[in-house]
């Protein structure tokens, strides 16, 4: 019976199970990035983002999430979008957040719809685009975010469409 060598991507699990130094295992893992499956790149990035068993390092986490996204791990796009949108680890960058959310293939999360609508309406970091802004507001309204109805009503009033504005204001009242 030949014993098979454990694959390199299990190093952190093994380190934790046997009480070895996880930081040293993470370092070994980092040095073998080309051989690391995308799911484990996510786990390693999570470790650096959250400071789990290693010193927190948001730059390393972002680098690893980008590697994972490049290798097809779509959850990495969502995590990167969250990093740039939530602004708890880096300053908020809605443009980057939107790009990563869209790259994930899962779309923009509910929490970001109004902010991205505002970003396109004001042209904050992107070319102003009322159509894109309205699209984000419409998506938020479908999720019953009452503030979106008010924003859409304001756009309709600016366009001189009082009937549509009234409809949006009524929707906003129903949503509270």
Are 118 and 105 a contacting pair, CB within 8 Å?
A: no
Residues 6-37 pLDDT 10s? 344 444 554 555 455 666 666 656 666 666 67
- Whether residue 5 has pLDDT greater than 50: no
Q: How does 122-138 read in b/e, with b if 16+ C-beta sit within 10 Å?
A: eeeeeeeeeebbbebbe
Residues 67-108 pLDDT 10s? 999 989 999 999 999 999 998 999 999 999 999 999 999 989
């Amino acid at each position: 019976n030949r014993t098979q060598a454990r694959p390199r991507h299990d190093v952190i699990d093994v380190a934790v199970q046997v009480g070895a130094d996880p930081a040293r295992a993470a370092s070994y893992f980092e040095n073998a990035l080309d051989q690391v499956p995308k799911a484990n790149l996510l786990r390693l990035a999570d470790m650096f983002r959250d400071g789990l068993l290693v010193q927190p390092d948001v730059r390393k986490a972002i680098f690893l999430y980008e590697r994972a996204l490049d290798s097809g791990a779509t959850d990495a796009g969502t995590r990167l979008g969250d990093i740039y949108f939530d602004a708890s680890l880096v300053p908020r960058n809605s443009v980057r957040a939107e790009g990563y959310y869209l790259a994930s293939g899962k779309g923009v999360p509910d929490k970001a719809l109004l902010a991205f609508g505002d970003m396109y309406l004001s042209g904050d970091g992107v070319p102003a685009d009322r159509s894109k802004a309205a699209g984000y507001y419409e998506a938020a309204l479908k999720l019953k975010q009452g503030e979106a109805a008010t924003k859409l009503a304001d756009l309709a009033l600016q366009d001189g469409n009082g009937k549509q504005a009234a409809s949006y204001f009524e929707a906003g009242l129903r949503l509270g």
